[in-house]
């Protein structure tokens, strides 16, 4: 895709921008020790910011990435839809970094990156990480890349590096225009990619920090969340040192994306203090460029682990007035058996689930009575299972899993994950998963065990085939 600055909608709005600026001309951005920047100092980028509000289409897209703990990848060129679909169904990833803005990005042309592409990924469950790669630190040797991109101005001026600050403001405004044109809504995190640089170069370091302050201030003012990606040993460490050693001098981003290729899928690094941007403010790129193949589709990626917002969370649930559905054992129930405290809990859970599905019309009382047996036999018959007065473990698996069939993997959360966890506890009794509605490492291990037992590829992804196995009550091949 060409840079959104060249979209036809901007050309159509160009004639109105000067009038709109009159309304915003009195706006002043307070920058603390950096002085002030007025709209007249950056008329072009302020115009872009106003234009974005006018140009943005109404969208039902959610803010991204939201609350999430899990795996992600990023790559230079936004993948085609078919590749995204294959990776959604086969890979461990649920988040994807996309380069939406910045004159210094390597893949300026992004033919696949459109508002439709963005809306489709969000609807399917992907979390997006929109990245801008614009002006880079003045001592970064690999930039500028082209004839029309620039480095951050390292001149200190009166000691506040005001030129660098204004460049950060301008880049934020351009990024917001580009984000809105793609349907990336306010509340989303926009990430600035500041490639590694020589931290010992004072003017280079200080101007980079001032640039990022301008970026953060303006991103927030425009309703988005500020994120910064950089090397653990330069940009991220410099931010953390400024946070602790010079509080208030620079404006800290809301979230950081740490480039630390240590192969550890977490958000930790020894380069910064343990209290910085925690909880919920970190992403780590733990592996650099490499090829991965999922579902027969190969992409060159960087690997990331995210823990942002409140992490992956599921709303609390109350069923049938507080009936306990999360049991240590989902063993069989027999009509002629002498009731025990444990069996009464299982019968209550059975009655509750059957009542919610309109199969049982009696009281949820823990008694394996005639109405319960009638519901049991009706369920078994309608699901192609052996019809009996007794309720078996395969019956439990099919009932606990019953409902919608979303694609789930590490990082997913919600009602579907609760059904998955209960079904796995019934199918793999040794799993002992805590049913919290969050797909974490314990659920991942149990799912892979189950998939192997029933003859499926142990992908750790719950697909339609996995749900069908649960619906049939399968426990083994």
Domain boundaries of the chain, sorted by first residue: 4-308, 341-471
- Which pLDDT belongs to residue 42? 42
- Alpha helix ranges (H) inside 338-440: 341-356, 370-382, 393-401, 415-427
Sign of CA dihedral 132, 136, 137, 141: positive
Per-residue pLDDT at 37 exceeds 80: no
Residue whose structure tokens are 């063993």: 331
Residue-wise pLDDT tens digits, 89-114: 999 999 999 999 999 999 999 999 99
Average confidence (pLDDT) over 131-157 = 97
165, 159 Cβ separation under 8 angstroms: no
| Residue 448 clears pLDDT 80, i.e. is over it | yes
Q: Are 427 and 87 in contact (CB under 8 A)?
A: no
The answer to whether 191 touches 130, Cβ cutoff 8 Å, is yes
Angle between helices 8-24 and 43-55 (to 10 degrees): 120
pLDDT at 9 over 60: no
Contact 151/144 with Cβ under 8 angstroms? yes
Q: Is the pLDDT of residue 39 over 60?
A: no
Q: Give the number of other CB atoms < 10 A from CB of residue 379.
A: 22
Indicate whether 53 pLDDT > 90.
no
Q: What is the mean pLDDT of the chain?
A: 90
Cβ-based burial of 430 (10 A; exposed 0-12, middle 13-18, buried ≥19): exposed
Q: Quick one: average pLDDT of 438-456?
A: 98
Cα 78 to Cα 117: distance, rounded to the nearest angstrom: 9
* 3-state DSSP assignment of residue 300: strand
**268 vs 25: CA distance, rounded Å:** 44
Q: What is the pLDDT of residues 235-287, one digit of tens each?
A: 999 999 999 999 999 999 999 999 999 999 999 999 999 999 999 999 999 99
pLDDT surpassing 80 at residue 40: no
Q: d(Cα 225, Cα 217) in Å, to the nearest integer?
A: 10
pLDDT of residue 247: 97
Cα separations (Å) of 214 from 165, 202, 237, 389, 451?
5, 18, 18, 70, 50
Q: Provide the token pair at 210.
A: 């001032």
305 DSSP β-pair partners? 71, 284
| Three-state DSSP class for residue 323 | coil
Q: What pLDDT is recorded for position 328?
A: 86
Choosing among 1.10.10.10, 2.60.40.420, 1.10.1740.10, 1.10.101.10, the CATH entry for 341-471 is: 1.10.101.10
Name the CA radius of gyration of the chain, rounded: 27
The CATH class for the domain spanning 4-308 reads alpha beta
Is 104 in contact with 143 (CB distance < 8 Å)? Answer: yes
SS3 content of the chain, % helix, strand, coil (to 5): 40, 15, 45
Give the span between the Cα atoms of 272 and 170, in whole angstroms: 29
Same CATH topology for 4-308 and 341-471: the answer is no
Least confident of 14-23, 61-70, 123-132: 14-23
- Residue 443 — pLDDT band, cuts 50, 70, 90? very high
Contact between 304 and 410 (Cβ < 8 Å)? no
Residue 57 is predicted with a pLDDT of: 54
Confidence of residue 52 (pLDDT cuts 50, 70, 90): very low
In this predicted model, which residue has the larger pLDDT, 41 or 130?
A: 130
Phi, psi of 231 (to 5 degrees): -65, 140
CA–CA separation, 468 and 383 (whole Å):
11
Confidence of residue 336 (pLDDT cuts 50, 70, 90): confident
Lowest pLDDT segment from 34-43, 228-237, 293-302, 382-391: 34-43
pTM of the model: 0.87
Question: Which pLDDT band, with edges at 50, 70 and 90, does 15 fall under?
Answer: very low
* Helical (H) or strand (E) element with 276: none
> Angle at which helices 393-401 and 341-356 pack, to 10 degrees?
40
In this prediction, residues 20-37 reach a mean pLDDT of 34
């Amino acid at each position: 895709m060409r840079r959104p600055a060249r979209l036809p909608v901007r050309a159509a709005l160009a004639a109105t921008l000067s009038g709109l600026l009159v309304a915003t001309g009195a706006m002043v951005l307070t920058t603390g020790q950096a002085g002030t920047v007025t709209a007249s100092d950056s008329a072009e980028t302020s115009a872009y910011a106003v234009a974005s509000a006018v140009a943005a289409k109404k969208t039902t897209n959610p803010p991204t990435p939201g609350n999430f703990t899990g795996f992600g990848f990023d790559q230079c060129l936004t993948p085609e839809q078919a590749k995204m679909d294959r990776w959604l169904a086969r890979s461990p990833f649920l988040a994807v970094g996309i380069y939406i803005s910045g004159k210094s990005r390597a893949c300026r042309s992004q033919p696949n990156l459109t508002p439709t592409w963005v809306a489709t990924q969000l609807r399917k469950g992907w979390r997006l990480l929109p990245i801008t790669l614009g002006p880079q630190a003045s001592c970064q040797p690999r930039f500028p890349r082209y004839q029309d991109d620039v480095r951050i101005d390292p001149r200190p001026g009166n000691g506040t590096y005001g030129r660098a600050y204004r460049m950060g403001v301008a880049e934020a405004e351009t990024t917001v225009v580009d984000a809105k044109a793609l349907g990336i809504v306010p509340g989303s995190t926009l990430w600035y990619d500041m490639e590694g640089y020589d931290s010992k170069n004072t003017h280079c370091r200080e101007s980079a920090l001032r640039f990022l302050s301008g970026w953060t201030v303006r991103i927030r003012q425009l309703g988005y969340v500020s994120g910064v990606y950089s090397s653990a040993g330069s940009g991220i460490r410099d931010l953390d040192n400024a946070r602790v050693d010079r509080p208030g001098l620079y404006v800290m981003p809301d979230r950081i994306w740490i480039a630390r290729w240590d192969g550890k899928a977490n958000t930790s690094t020894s380069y910064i203090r343990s209290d910085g941007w925690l909880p919920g403010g970190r992403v780590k790129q733990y592996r650099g460029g490499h090829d991965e193949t999922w579902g027969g589709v190969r992409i060159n990626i960087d690997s990331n682990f995210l823990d942002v917002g409140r992490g992956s969370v599921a709303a609390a649930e109350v069923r049938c007035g507080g009936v306990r559905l999360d049991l240590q054992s989902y063993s069989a129930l027999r009509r002629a058996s002498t009731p025990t405290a444990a069996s009464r809990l299982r019968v209550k859970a059975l009655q509750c689930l059957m009542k919610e599905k309109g199969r049982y019309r009696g009281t949820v009382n823990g008694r394996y009575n005639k109405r319960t047996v009638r519901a049991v036999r009706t369920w078994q018959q309608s699901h192609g299972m052996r019809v009996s007065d007794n309720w078996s473990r395969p019956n439990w698996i099919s009932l606990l899993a019953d409902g919608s069939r979303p694609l789930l993997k590490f990082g997913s959360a919600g009602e579907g994950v609760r059904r998955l966890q209960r079904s796995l506890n019934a199918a793999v009794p040794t799993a002992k998963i805590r049913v919290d509605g969050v797909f974490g490492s314990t659920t991942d291990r149990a799912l892979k065990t189950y998939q192997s037992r029933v003859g499926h590829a142990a992908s750790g992804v719950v697909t339609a085939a996995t749900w069908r196995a649960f619906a049939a009550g399968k426990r083994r091949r």
